Amino acid sequence: MTKKIAFFGIFAAFAIIIAYIERLFPLPIPIPGAKPGFANAIVIITLYTMGTRAALGISVLRIAVVGLLFGSVFGMAYSLAGGLLSFAAMVAAKRTNIFGIVGVSVFGGVFHNMGQIAMAAIIVQNARLFYYAPVLIIAGVLAGIAVGYASGLTLRHVRDVIHRHFV
């Protein structure tokens, strides 16, 4: 149990650090708030190694810490809406056993953007924001592919480390 808590802490720290680094280097594209979401790779790796509850904990902890330290209340609301919807979509996609890690990540990327746009539409009370949906879906697919590929490469090594310490 102690080793599991230690891995959880390490994964949470990595997710927070990666999210912070992404904030330092905004993408030079005209899509408000668009970023690759590489911190989500840690959530995906946790989902595949430690299970749903641990991955949800990492996701919510990362959103809360990064939001409190570097964001705003509205930013946290957007991130939480996107993060929770993304997480639910990834868990559902993974449970089907149809999609690999890249496919699961693509679901996460697309639904994260949809959750954020839904929250924005609620906050500003304007459903016209959904006109951004096609662009955000494409951005979510591209980010999901990149994050999924990075997660897959990293997962092989993480599984070896976890196997050595848990088995």
CATH fold of 2-166, please?
A: Arp2/3 complex 21 kDa subunit ARPC3 (1.10.1760)
Cα separation, 141 vs 155, whole angstroms = 20
Task: Give the pLDDT confidence of 21-80 residue by residue, as tens digits.
Answer: 988 887 777 666 667 899 999 999 999 999 999 999 999 999 999 999 988 888 899 999
Instruction: Read off the pTM.
Output: 0.90
Interacting residues of 89 by C-beta distance below 8 A, sequence separation 6+ = 107, 108, 110, 111
- Residue 50 per-residue DSSP state: T
Percentage above 90 pLDDT, the chain: 71
- The pLDDT confidence band at residue 91, using thresholds 50, 70 and 90, is very high
CB-neighbour burial class of residue 133 (10 A; exposed 0-12, middle 13-18, buried 19+): middle
3-state secondary structure of 34: coil
